[in-house]
Amino acid sequence: MFKLLVSICVFLLPAVLSASEEAKDPYMNALVKELDRSFTGLKNAEKTPLYYLGYELTVSKSHYLAAKSGALDTDSAYNTNTLDIDMRVGAMALDNTHQGKGSMAWANYSQSQDLPVALEGDEDAIRARIWEYTDRAFKKAEENFTKVKMNKAVTAAEDDPSPDFSTAPAEHFYETVTLPEPDLGAWTQRLKEHSARLAGYSYIYDSGVYLQYENENRYLVNSDGTRVKTGNNYITLTYYLTSRTTDGMEISRGEHYNTDTFEGLPSVEKVNADMDRSILELKALKEAPVVEPYSGPAILKARAAGVYFHEIIGHRLEGHRQKLEDSGQTFAKKVGQKVTSEIVSLYDDATLRDFRGTPLRGYYRYDDEGVKARRVTLVENGVLKGFLMNRSPIRGFPVSNGHGRRSSGLPTVARMGNTIMKASVTTTYPELRKQLLDECRKQNKPFGLIFEDISGGFTNTNRGGAQAFKVLPLMVYKAYTDGRPDELVRGVDIVGTPITSFAKIQAAADDDAVFNGTCGAESGWVPVSSVSPSVLISEMEVEKSQKSQQRPPVLKPPLHDKDIPAPPQEPGAAGGK
């Protein structure tokens, strides 16, 4: 699942400290000392041995400023220190994390995680909390391992008998990522002025502007010998505006800006100009007709295509899904086979900080199992080459490639970072649009669809449900074969099944763009990016969007009785061309 309305991840140059600075770090000292003490004391404490212990401590400092209708709405700052414990008893071949079957599926993952730790750097206080949580996790792991053995004894054999865990190199890296405080007074005034600009239109029912930033440093230590401190900064400046049509459909526009410094955020003039465009687009959407269900040629503009690749194939190439008994395993046995057009190559590279100057939210140095990030080829010239892997092996892929990820409180699984589609043959966007119309004529379709902007999407990978995906467009245009101007429409969602849809890609433009967002799955919400050019798909299916039955407000907003005139429309501001 991919979501746009989130904080955007950016990265300052870290402060790489000396060995002496690391030695004086109370958090690292507490983690290492308690790890060594706990592992030594617990590994043979029970009949089932403890064979692996890992700690991840996340130290986070966040601030959220929001304004509505010209007034400050929220000013919230908070710091958190949370501990996650990876406790494995048994052996790599079979341990307490093994997924159960039937009613026990995923139940064994419950252990002591996402736990508060002292905010002050008091080594003794930190160690006391780690000791308390470790004892609880160890007892839970022993209990779960007993359940795993019982479950295996009474259920059918698994198709993929790969081990539950794999070896990984011991890593040693230390950096501290810092984020200087911005001028909060200046930013508060700026947000108030931006939000007042959006309050001047009676058809905008809700709007706001917010600045959110977070400085996060992660400590990763484990019984393999890994000792890592690394971090990221997350910053976003966002505005949004929403309305409702007479038939009850919620519509929205907005923009998100991310950068690696506060000085790099866009100017007041740039944001105001984008707001003017969004105001016009929202008004046009309010008056736009609803599209009936359709199947035919379509273009996904670059950022929209990034979400499309994330949903239709990205999740299905996450390694653990290839052996989970309740997963659809769509591509598990297709390595070496052609799965899409030969022009398409797909890879995931979390080591990339930016793409052509745009920060990538999915960047990280080490994953949440302490494995170094690296580039992984997934599809090459249309042929499936591999999967994203954490330390849970699958048939043919015995080790991690640095994609074990989670949000605090959940177990790591294989997840995307920066997923990038690279087309070997490209053309200009105007030529791609011409190819769209040619394909429409070939199929006797009076129009094709152009998807300009997308909010996100989701996909189902479980066997119990349809192996399908849904992508949620915000701005869609009909492109007519008879030469009529493109027509803005609303009310459709992109739907389909991955194998069929992936095979329908025909051509790509040379206009690569970045979609930054947050992806939700069983290991929680993690920052991700997708990069893609615009693509032409020979057949795409859309269905009607869900909508409420609520009427628009009976009265206009109380701040005014009539609309302030909209700013003049810039050329091409509301066109699909």
Contact by Cβ (8 Å): 285, 547: no
Write down the pLDDT at residue 460.
57
Residue 111 pLDDT: 53
The predicted pLDDT at position 10 comes to 32
- Tell me if 392 sits within 8 A of 414, measured CB to CB: yes
Per-residue pLDDT at 577: 42
Mean of pLDDT values over 173-192: 95
Q: What is the pLDDT of residue 73?
A: 94
Q: Tell me the pLDDT tens digit for each residue of 115-126.
A: 778 777 789 999
Bin 524: left if φ > 0, else alpha if -120 < ψ < 50, else beta.
left
User: Residue 571 pLDDT more than 50?
Assistant: no
pLDDT value at residue 561 = 58
**Calpha distance 82→58 (Å, rounded):** 5
Average pLDDT on 413-417 reads: 96
Angle at 319 between CA 461 and CA 337, to 5 degrees: 85
Q: Does pLDDT of 270 surpass 70?
A: yes
The reported pLDDT for the residue numbered 11 is: 32
pLDDT in tens, 87-140: 999 999 999 999 876 545 444 454 546 677 877 778 999 999 999 999 999 999
Q: Is the confidence at residue 260, as pLDDT, over 80?
A: no
Boundaries of CATH 3.30.2290.10 in the chain? 2-287
Which tokens hold the place of 170?
């011991």
Kind plus residue range of the DSSP H or E element containing 143: helix 123-154
Q: Which long-range contacts (CB under 8 A, 24 or more apart) does 181-187 make?
A: 182/211, 182/213, 182/262, 184/63, 184/65, 187/65, 187/211
Angle, alpha carbons 154-142-367 (nearest 5°): 100
For residues 172-195, give the mean pLDDT.
95
| pLDDT, tens only, 214-253 | 999 999 999 999 999 999 998 999 999 999 998 888 999 9
pLDDT, mean of residues 173-179: 95
Q: Supply the DSSP string of 287-342, one letter for each residue.
A: HPPBPPPEEEEEEE-HHHHHHHHIIIIIGGGBGGGGT-TTB--TTTT-TTSB-S-T
Mean pLDDT of 492-521: 88
Q: What's residue 342's pLDDT?
A: 96
Query: Per-residue pLDDT for 413 more than 90?
Result: yes
Q: Would you say residue 576 has pLDDT above 60? A: no
Does residue 343 surpass a pLDDT of 60?
yes
pLDDT of residue 102: 56
Question: Could you tell me which of 451, 463, 473, 459 has the C-alpha nearest to residue 416?
Answer: 459
Work out the pLDDT band at 574, boundaries 50, 70, 90: very low
Torsion of CA 501, 504, 507, 512, to 10 degrees: 10
Residue range 548-577: mean pLDDT, rounded: 58
Q: Is the pLDDT of residue 268 over 60?
A: yes
For residue 292, how many other CB atoms are within 10 A of its CB? Answer: 11
For residue 493, the model assigns a pLDDT of 85
Q: What is the pLDDT of residue 462?
A: 59
Q: In the predicted model, what is the mean pLDDT of residues 362-377?
A: 97
Dist CA 263 CA 41 (whole Å): 51
Counting Cβ atoms within 10 Å, is residue 289 exposed (0-12), middle (13-18) or buried (19+)?
A: exposed
The arithmetic mean of pLDDT across residues 481-496, rounded, is: 90
pLDDT exceeds cutoff 70 at 213: yes
CA torsion sign, 84 to 53 to 134 to 18? negative
Query: What distance in Å separates the CA atoms of residue 486 and residue 352, rounded to the nearest whole number?
Result: 37
CB 157 within 8 A of CB 210: no
Confidence of residue 544 (pLDDT cuts 50, 70, 90): confident
What pLDDT is attached to residue 13?
39
Nearest of 454, 453, 417 to residue 529 by alpha carbon: 417
Q: N- to C-terminal Cα distance for the chain?
A: 29
Phi, psi of 289 (to 5 degrees): -75, 160
Helical spans, DSSP H, in 288-428: 302-309
Q: Is the dihedral of CA 87, 92, 95, 101 positive or negative?
A: positive
Amino acid at 10: V
Average pLDDT, the chain: 87
Most confident of 214-228, 490-504, 517-531: 214-228
The per-residue pLDDT for 560 is: 59
Residues 6+ apart with CB under 8 A from 153: none
Q: Which amino acid is at 200?
A: G
pLDDT band at 8 (very low <50, low <70, confident <90, very high): very low
Q: Is the pLDDT of residue 63 over 70?
A: yes
Other residues' Cβ atoms within 10 Å of the Cβ of residue 29 = 16
Give domain 2-287's CATH number out of 3.30.70.2740, 3.40.50.970, 3.40.228.10, 3.30.2290.10.
Answer: 3.30.2290.10
**DSSP class of 396:** T
Over range 155-161, report the average pLDDT.
84
Q: Which one is predicted more confidently, 408 or 259? A: 408
Percent of the chain with pLDDT over 90: 66
Collapsed DSSP state (helix, strand, coil) of residue 320: helix
